[in-house]
């Protein structure tokens, strides 16, 4: 089985943001970081070369594949920011409808700028995602 490339590193979060984020994106990244820290009570850590992650959980698929992932994270992807979260349950889907200008794939919420969103709804989405992951993977604890 292939080893996952997205794992915690000792790389600098500040250096990553300085190398990727525009000045406007950097302000938004700092606001997202504050939300993630409030929700997880964790410090940011680089996961792989390009994800700023918070906390950790261990997953195992029916296939037997397992690994670790951050509870919530974000990345700068060109002109967009991506927040990695779970938003599958009905409450989360309803929140997405109130969020503002974004697009959502399986676990990636794409946004251009926080000014386009209701930031309180975003923080509630992050909190709901973290709670959902901890419920699905109870051995997560508060690591």
d(CA 55, CA 71): 5
Q: How confident is the model at residue 3 (pLDDT cuts 50, 70, 90)?
A: low
DSSP label at residue 4: P
Q: How confident is the model at residue 101 (pLDDT cuts 50, 70, 90)?
A: very high
Residue 36 above 50 pLDDT? yes
pLDDT of residue 4: 65
pLDDT of residue 143: 43
Residue 142 above 60 pLDDT? no
Question: Lowest-pLDDT range, 5-14, 39-48, 58-67, 78-87?
Answer: 58-67
pLDDT of residue 141: 47
Question: Lowest-pLDDT range, 34-38, 55-59, 72-76?
Answer: 55-59
> Please, are residues 83 and 122 in contact by the beta-carbon 8 Å criterion?
yes
| Residue 95: CA count within 13 A, CB half-sphere | 21
pLDDT of residue 63: 87
Could you tell me the domains of the chain?
13-138 (3.90.1150.200)
Residues 120, 116, 69, 88, CA torsion sign: positive
Provide the 3-class DSSP secondary structure of residue 52. strand
Q: Which of 87, 25, 30, 78 is nearest to 50 (CA)?
A: 78
pLDDT of residue 59: 87
d(CA 108, CA 32): 14
Q: How many CB atoms lie within 10 A of CB 105?
A: 8
Q: Which of 92, 83, 89 is nearest to 124 (CA)?
A: 92
pLDDT of residue 54: 97
Provide the 3-class DSSP secondary structure of residue 72. strand
Residues 130, 131, 133, 134, CA torsion sign: positive
Tokens of 137: 């993977």
């Amino acid at each position: 089985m292939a080893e996952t490339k997205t794992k915690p590193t000792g790389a600098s979060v500040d250096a990553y943001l300085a190398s990727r984020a525009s000045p406007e994106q950097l302000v938004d990244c700092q606001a997202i970081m504050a939300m993630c820290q409030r929700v997880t009570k964790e410090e940011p850590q680089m996961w792989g070369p390009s994800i700023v992650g918070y906390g950790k959980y261990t997953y195992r698929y029916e296939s037997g594949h397992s690994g670790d992932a951050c509870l919530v994270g974000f990345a700068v992807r060109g002109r967009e920011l991506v927040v990695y979260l779970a938003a599958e349950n009905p409450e989360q889907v309803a929140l997405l409808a109130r969020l503002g200008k974004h697009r959502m794939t399986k676990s990636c919420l794409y946004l251009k700028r926080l000014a386009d969103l209701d930031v309180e709804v975003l923080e509630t989405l992050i909190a709901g995602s973290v709670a959902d992951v901890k419920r699905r993977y109870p051995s997560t604890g508060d690591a």
